[in-house]
Structure 1
Amino acid sequence: MTSQPLISVIVAVYNGDKTLQRCIDSVSDQTYPNKELIIVDGGSTDGSIDILMTNKDKIAYWKSEPDTGIYNAWNKALDHASGEWIYFLGSDDYLWKSSVFEEMAPHLIKAESENIQLVYGQVARVTEADELCCVDGNAWDYTRNGIIVDGVCTFTHQGMFHHRSLFEIYGKFDESYRIVGDYELLVRAFKEGGDALFVNGFIVAGMQTGGVTANCTELVKETARARRNNHLKVVTIPWLISYAWAICYPSLNHILGDKNTRYLVNFGKRFVTGLSHKKNAILEPKND
């Protein structure tokens, strides 16, 4: 690996002209030089194409054509990615500061030297008005326990850098999923074990609340399907609580507002998965 690994940034967009320029600027403004931006548009009918044309000097590859969803777009983009590390950013999200890649690069180099295929930091959830709701991102033992054992999405892809070998070994995203294809890929890759590198206290991106993951009930149902297809236990206590949260989410959002509801949901998720993690730690056999 070179001293400056190439980072491929992949963005899928559909009718995202309100936020796309901010997303592109957050990548092009990075002080880290060894990067490329790949954008796949799903056939937008707003001003997104005009934005892509205006910024073509900042984009290594872009294409606009109808697709079947975000994972179809990501898979098409992967065919054009040259980087050792792949980073997926939503068109309504943005890198937190201009030095994100520069500060992350040493951790990517360290991870590859240790044969680690996933490096991640934290993600700030923000409202459309740029109000900070909360910050996601926890140590790998907690995160993996939530993904594999509990069946809860204890991660945000906007904080994650995937080594290209992860896709070479485990394949691309399963396009049959509309919301949790990134979760299913992590289940596929880490259900038998494996390590990831967590950069604690480092915010990678701002993630705008809403989008497809706002459909909480569908998210929980797809999570169950992903676990079933990977031969993992589906009905767990944290998963049932997540289902209950998903049913209540629209009412809570109406009463409390987006910011307070997101904070409450994240607190509940941390509490439940934290209890599960402690229970599993107690049950694990100790070596004499």
Structure 2
Amino acid sequence: MSDQLSPKITVIIAVYNGAKTLQQCIDSVAQQTYANKQLIIIDGGSADGTVELLKRNDSHISYWVSESDNGIYNAWNKGLKQAKSDWICFLGADDFFWDDQVLERVSMQLERLPVDVRVAYGQIMLLTADGVNIHATGEPWAKVKKHFKHKMSIPHPGVMHHRSLFELHGKFDESFRIVGDYELLLRELKTGDAVFLPDIIVTGMRQGGISSNPEQSLTILREVRRAQVMHGQSVPSRVWLMAVVRVYIRLLLWGVLGEKRTRKALDFGRRIIGLPAYWTKI
């Protein structure tokens, strides 16, 4: 496959004090067998050795900057100004490409897509903070399309965004702190379609922090609801309301049973309905 015919792919990484995991993220891009790629890293003014790490990896990075910013979506928007590619994906410093042939396999499928497709995605592997596999996530669009208006039903670290998505809809809304990726994709997918790239785990994504804290989960749901209202959903859906109920149940259990027992109880419930353990692993 020649570079002239294959789609160029830009990888934009936002980082702030991420020196512990950023090297793995950079290596996962640098070691890709696919040559037609661009790596952009936007650092928010780190003071933990991240800048020194970026300097050591300068030969692998097309563009990087370290300066204060207003959060991840501000950082990604800065990166978009430097992007020179047909397709763009966004990673955090905790993420990394799953193997060294990911972009090769992704590009082969992107080449075959109709010209009007602006969003394509594969699966991601959820990991513990220590890098132990939890389970893969990401299902075909035909299965999750009906849910997208109600929640983020595709894994953003596995998403490829065509340049035309930003030309048509603009950049990330920086007033969001957590779900700006969902709001951006909602602009396209509330009426359009995404394409699932089968048999590809794109990214490994560490869990913990925001994803495991009930209070933060409520913040996420509030932002999701704000995005939905912005896009014409004046009445909250049953799916969103049930998600709120589940978070309040978690909060109640957290207070009564404590965090450890609550995590065990939640995973017991997951096993009953045939899902793998999650809460005791993050």
Q: TM-score normalised by the shorter chain: which range applies?
A: 0.7 to 0.9
* 1:226 counterpart = 2:227: yes
Corresponding residue for 2:141?
140
Measure, in 1, the Cα distance between the counterparts of 2:133 and 2:100.
Answer: 19
* Secondary structure class of the residue paired with 1:123: strand
Alpha-carbon deviation of 1:234? 4.2
Question: Is 1:108 matched up with 2:106?
Answer: no
The structure-2 alpha-carbon separation of the partners of 1:138 and 1:46, relative to structure 1 and needing over 3 Å to count, comes to same
Alignment of 1:151-170 (within 5 A): 151-170=150-169
Shift of 1:177: 0.3
Structure 1 match to 2:120: 119
Separation of aligned partners in 2, 1:30 and 1:156: 21
Matches within 5 A, 1:107-256: 107-111=109-113, 113-148=114-149, 151-191=150-190, 193-214=191-212, 215-249=216-250, 251=254, 254-255=260-261
**Partners of 1:107 and 1:139 in 2: CA distance:** 15
Distance 1:253 1:87, change over 3 A: farther
Cα offset, 1:216, TM superposition: 1.1
Report the CA distance between 1:229 and its aligned residue: 1.1
Give the equivalent residue in structure 1 for 2:93. 91
Query: How many Å apart are 1:2 and its aligned residue?
Result: 4.2
Matching residue's letter, 2:116: N
TM-fit CA distance, 1:233:
4.2
The TM-score normalised by the length of structure 2 is: 0.86
Q: Does structure 1 conserve the Cα–Cα contact (< 8 Å) formed by 2:97 and 2:203?
A: yes
How far apart are the structure 2 equivalents of 1:159 and 1:101? Answer: 11
Tell me: CA distance 1:56–1:229, structure 2 relative to 1, closer, same or farther (3 Å): same
Gaps of 5+ in 2: 276-282
Secondary structure at 1:19's aligned position in 2? helix
Residues 257 and 97 from structure 1, CA distance in 2 versus in 1: closer, same or farther, beyond 3 angstroms? Answer: farther
Q: Is the 8 A contact 1:121 1:159 kept in 2?
A: yes
Q: Find the aligned partners of 2:45 and 2:96 in 1 and give their Cα distance.
A: 22
Q: Residues 60-89 of structure 1, C-alpha deviation per residue, up to 9 Å, x if partnerless?
A: 000011111100000011000001000101
Query: 1:41 is matched by which residue type in structure 2?
Result: D
- What CA distance in whole angstroms lies between the structure 2 residues aligned with 1:94 and 1:253? 29
Aligned to 2:165, the other structure's residue is in SS state helix
The residue identity in structure 2 corresponding to 1:186 is L
Check whether the contact 2:121–2:154 (CA below 8 A) recurs between aligned residues. Answer: no
Q: Secondary structure at 1:18's aligned position in 2? A: helix
State how far apart, in whole Å, the 2-side matches of 1:225 and 1:39 are: 29
Residue 135 of structure 1 aligns to a residue in which SS? strand
Unmatched runs of 5 consecutive residues or more in structure 1:
270-288
Give, in angstroms, the shift of residue 248 of structure 1.
4.1
Identity of aligned residues (%): 42
AA at the equivalent of 1:179: I
CA distance 1:194–1:14, shift in 2 (3 Å): same
Counterpart code for 1:88: F
Give per-residue Cα distances to partners, 1:33-78, cap 9 Å, x unaligned: 0001000001111111111111011000000111111000000110
In 1, are the aligned partners of 2:105 and 2:200 still within 8 Å (CA)? no
What is the distance in 1 between the residues matched to 2:167 and 2:250? 37
Consecutive aligned runs of 4 or more in structure 1 exceeding 4 Å deviation = 211-214
Residue 200 of structure 1 and its aligned partner are, at CA, apart by 2.3
Distance in structure 1 (CA, Å) of the matches to 2:159 and 2:174: 20
Q: Hey, what's the Cα distance between the residues in 1 that align with 2:184 and 2:118? A: 13
The CA RMSD over aligned residues, in Å, is 2.4
Aligned length: 263
TM-score (normalizing by structure 1): 0.85
Quick one: structure 1 residues 54 and 256, their matched pair in 2 at CA, closer, same or farther if it must change by over 3 Å? farther
2:78 aligned with 1:72: no
d(CA) in 1 for partners of 2:26 and 2:250? 31
